[in-house]
Chain A
């Protein structure tokens, strides 16, 4: 859909990233340091202070880091999408780019942010001296699936928030709750067996499993769970596309 505008997208995303990091003395290193700070804090609290709880697989620092980066990408991308069409956007009155272009621009910028933070996983592997097996290929599958899910969700969130501004606040609460309802801090095996199937209604459960399965094959999601997650992802992406198409005239009127 955006192939025609790929050079415009590349230029604008490069400009966004440059603008975001140029004001800091250590520039792009903040893409790593922010999630690193979160990983170290979580590791310190749950592994050192509350040691023995064994919330996730070992080494816990790597286990946390592998999930925190995608979670950081997800939450920052969805939170940013709530603001895309809020308030007057005068340039949309003359822009020849598709209305959904700003959403794609944010999603690609956040993907680039995520890619910039990936050296943190390599550093965690070296620190803990733990290396992945051949299932690491699913790490890249997870990135593709998460990007598609995020684009669909961002279209849904951005279009609804443009019409009902209160929705942006609801999304923020949902993201906070999502952090605890998603196995970022803990392993899928910690979810009670009775709730396991229901937990797959949260598509990030399956996606985080794909990220981790290269290091911890036991983190894989069952076939039923995968099917449920896939159905939810397709539904959410479809809902995003439909809601955006339905609300696009109103978004343009509000611009």
Chain B
């Protein structure tokens, strides 16, 4: 029951053909009457179906590093990244990948606070498609890269947030996938560790690994070689990532002008506001 179709003979890393996607948009109930307040207190929400993509087609070349940037209000890069990783299925059209695309999203729930760091490494590795034997063979690398020597058998709830970010990031990299879909995950931990991550990613790029990145970090521009502007019904390739990030800034300014503080994307974990 594979979620996306895999074709090892595919000439590109990811191919989306005529993809349609409709998501439910959740709004907290507004209003100031007593009845409306009670419904709001009870957690009652209203749902509205909204078309995110309609007839989207794109091919992502293998070995490229692409900055995925929403260029219209209401378009979310999370859905695009999840479609590529197979954790979201389109309502219409097809998604075909050459190799499994491993997603790395913030607040992905990969780590369980009740487990130790070692247990979490195993559990996260299994969730990301590694076998327990694979995790065991790469445990030393994970521990060394993330600097977990002293906290390997500590409970994760006692670890500072930056250490948890390190664990999630390093385990994701340890999957040795040929394609990654990363959102805001490079804003990890401390500056030294981030630089280490960038160096590691640069090495992977030289090996021909494909990256789909949505990251507001300025480092995005130095890492990606192309930009992909996401619109409802089409995609636009841009060679200048700086141009693409300017489009994002315009979109965010436009979105903030609409002032919809009550609404959030259902699939965004609440962080994409």
Contact = CB atoms under 8 A, between A and B. Distances in A.
A is bound by B: yes
Interface of A: 1, 7-8, 11-12, 15, 89-100, 245, 248-249, 252-255
Interface residues of B, number: 35
Contacts of A15: 119, 123
Nearest to B126: A8
Contacts of B105: 93-94
Interface in B104-121: 104-105, 107-110, 119
A1 B1 CA distance: 7
B108 A91 contact: yes
Interface in B72-112: 82, 85-91, 100, 102-105, 107-110
Interface in B1-47: 1-3, 23-24
B266 A94 contact: no
B132 interface: yes
A8 B132 contact: yes
A54 B175 CA distance: 61
A94 B3 CA distance: 12
Given A90-B269, A91-B108, A98-B3, 8 more contacts: A11-B132, A15-B123, A93-B88, A93-B103, A94-B127, A95-B127, A248-B3, A252-B3
B87 A94 contact: yes
A99 B132 contact: no
Contacts of A91: 108-110, 127
A143 to B, nearest CB: 24
The 10 residue pairs across chains A and B that have the minimum distance between CB atoms: A90-B109, A96-B129, A249-B89, A91-B109, A94-B103, A8-B126, A94-B108, A98-B1, A95-B127, A11-B132
B186 to A, nearest CB: 15
B1 A94 contact: no
A148 B83 CA distance: 31
24 contacts: A7-B133, A8-B126, A15-B119, A15-B123, A90-B108, A91-B110, A93-B87, A93-B105, A94-B103, A94-B110, A94-B128, A96-B86, A96-B100, A96-B102, A97-B129, A99-B1, A245-B1, A249-B89, A249-B90, A249-B91, A252-B82, A253-B266, A255-B87, A255-B267
B131 interface: yes
Contacts of B107: 90
Interface in B176-223: none
B116 to A, nearest CB: 12
B89 A95 contact: no
Nearest to A12: B126
Contacts, number: 82
Contact of A248 (B89, B109, B110, B126): B89
A112 B205 CA distance: 45
B134 to A, nearest CB: 9
A252 B88 contact: yes
Contact of A96 (B1, B91, B108, B128): B128
A75 B132 CA distance: 31
Contact of A252 (B89, B123, B126): B89
B104 A94 contact: yes
Contacts of B103: 93-94
Nearest to A241: B1
A11 B122 contact: yes
Contacts of B23: 253
Given A93-B87, A94-B127, A253-B23, A100 B1 contact: yes
B136 to A, nearest CB: 11
Given A1-B1, A252-B88, A255-B87, A93 B128 contact: no
A101 to B, nearest CB: 9
Contacts of B110: 91, 94
A1 B148 CA distance: 36
B45 to A, nearest CB: 13
A69 B214 CA distance: 52
B240 to A, nearest CB: 30
Contacts of A245: 1
Contacts of A252: 3, 82, 87-89
Contacts of B128: 94-96
A253 B108 contact: no
Contact of A99 (B3, B82, B90, B269): B3
B87 A92 contact: yes
Nearest to B91: A249
B257 to A, nearest CB: 28
